[in-house]
Amino acid sequence: MIRKYFFLFFFLVSSQTFAQFVVKGKVTDSATGDPIPFASVLLKGTTLGISTDFEGNYTIDVRSLTDSITVSYLGYISAAKSLEQVPEQTVNFQLKPSDFEMEAFVFEAGENPAFEVIRKAVDRKKDFDKRELSAYQTKNYTKIEIDIDHVSEEFTQRKTVQKVTAILDSIKQLTNDEGEKILPVFFSETISKFYFRSNPELRKEVVEKSKVTGVGITDGSTTSQITGSAFQEYNFYKNWLSIVGKEFVSPIADGWKQFYDYDLIDSVLVGTDSCYLLKVYPLREQDLAFSGTIWINKETYALKQVDLTIPKEANLNFIERIKIQQELQPTSAGPLIPAKTRVQIKIGQITPKTAGLLAKFYTSADSVKVGEPQPTSFFNQSVTLLPGYDEASEEFWKENRQDILSQEEIAVLQMVDTLKRIPIVRFYSEGLKFFGTGYLPFKKVDIGPWPGFFNYNDIEGIRLGMGFRTNLKFSDKWVLYGYGAYGFKDAELKYSAKVTRILDRMHWTSVSLSTQKEIDQVGLEISSLQGNSIFLAASRFGTLRRPYFTNKHQVNFQREFFKGFLMYSDLSFMEFEPLYDFYYLEKGTGEYKSNFQTTEAKIGLRYGRDETILINDNERTSLGPLRWPIFELSYAKGMNWLGGDITYSKINFYVYQRLNMGMFGVSRYEFDAAKVFGEVPYPILKNHLGNETLFYTSAAFNTMNFNEFASDQYASLRYRHYFEGFLLNKVPLLKKLKWRAVGNANILYGSVSNKNIANAPTVDPDGNTIETFGRLDPTKPYIELGYGIENIFKFFRIDFFHRMTYLDNPGAKPFAVKISGQIIL
* Listed residue (783, 819, 825, 774) closest to 802, CA to CA: 783
In this predicted structure, what is the pLDDT of residue 102?
Answer: 44
Length of the chain measured in residues: 825
Mind listing the domains of the chain with CATH numbers? 2-95 (2.60.40.1120), 113-427 (no CATH), 438-598 (no CATH), 647-825 (no CATH)
Residue 105 has a pLDDT of 45
At 333, give phi and psi (nearest 5°): -90, -10
Q: Is the pLDDT of residue 14 over 50?
A: no
pLDDT digits (tens, 9 = 90+) for 717-762: 999 998 887 777 777 777 777 788 899 999 999 999 999 998 888 8
How does DSSP assign 718-770, residue by residue? EEEEE-TTTTGGGSTTTGGGT-EEEEEEEEEEEE--HHHHHTS-SB-TTS-B-
Q: Which strand (E) or helix (H) includes residue 504?
A: strand 492-504
Give the pLDDT of residue 12: 41
CA–CA gap between residue 356 and residue 318 (Å, rounded):
9
Above 80 in pLDDT, residue 708? yes
DSSP state of 811: T
pLDDT of residue 705 exceeding 50: yes
Q: SS3 for 426?
A: helix
Of 549, 585, 547, 600, the residue nearest 681 (C-alpha): 585
123-177 pLDDT, tens digit each:
999 999 999 999 999 999 988 888 877 655 555 566 666 656 555 554 455 554 4
**Would you state the pLDDT for residue 450?**
85
**pLDDT tens sequence across 614-627:** 777 788 877 777 78
Query: Is residue 260's pLDDT more than 80?
Result: yes
Q: Provide the pLDDT for residue 13.
A: 41
SS (H, E, C) 285-328: CCCCCCEEEEEEECCCCCEEEEEEEECCCCCCCCEEEEEEEEEE
Q: Looking at residue 426, what is its pLDDT?
A: 67
Give Dmax over CA atoms of the chain in angstroms. Answer: 139
Residues 230 and 242 sit within 8 Å (Cβ to Cβ): no
3-class secondary-structure state, position 820 = strand
Half-sphere exposure of 26 (CA within 13 A, CB side): 10
Stated as kind and residue range, the H or E segment containing 463 is: strand 461-470
Compute the distance between CA of residue 563 and CA of residue 794 in angstroms, rounded to an integer.
Answer: 38
- Name the nearest CA neighbour of 795 among 823, 761, 762, 764: 823
pLDDT band at 782, cuts 50/70/90?
very high
Is residue 198 scored above 90 in pLDDT?
no
* pTM of the full structure: 0.76
Angstrom distance (rounded) from CA 744 to CA 668: 10
Determine the Cα–Cα distance for residues 150 and 153; give it in Å rounded to an integer: 9
Give the other-Cβ count within 10 Å of 597's Cβ: 15
Using CA atoms, how far apart are residues 269 and 392, in angstroms rounded to an integer?
41
Helix (H) or strand (E) holding 246: strand 246-249
| pLDDT at res. 230 | 66
Give pLDDT, residue 16: 43
- pLDDT by residue (tens digit) across 425-459? 666 667 777 776 778 888 899 998 888 899 999 99
Q: For position 202, what pLDDT does the model report? A: 84
Of 523, 536, 553, whose CA–CA distance to 467 is shortest?
Answer: 536
Query: What mean pLDDT, rounded, does the chain reach?
Result: 83
Q: What is the pLDDT of residue 540?
A: 80
pLDDT in tens, 392-404: 888 888 888 877 7
Q: What is the pLDDT of residues 573-607, one digit of tens each?
A: 999 999 999 999 888 788 899 999 999 999 999 99
Percent of the chain residues topping a pLDDT of 70 = 85
Could you tell me if 363 and 142 are in contact, meaning their C-beta atoms sit under 8 angstroms apart?
yes
Q: Are strands 183-198 and 592-593 parallel, antiparallel or unpaired?
A: unpaired
- For 335, half-sphere exposure in the C-beta direction (CA atoms, 13 angstrom radius) is 18
Residue 262 exposed, middle or buried by CB count within 10 Å (0-12, 13-18, 19+): buried
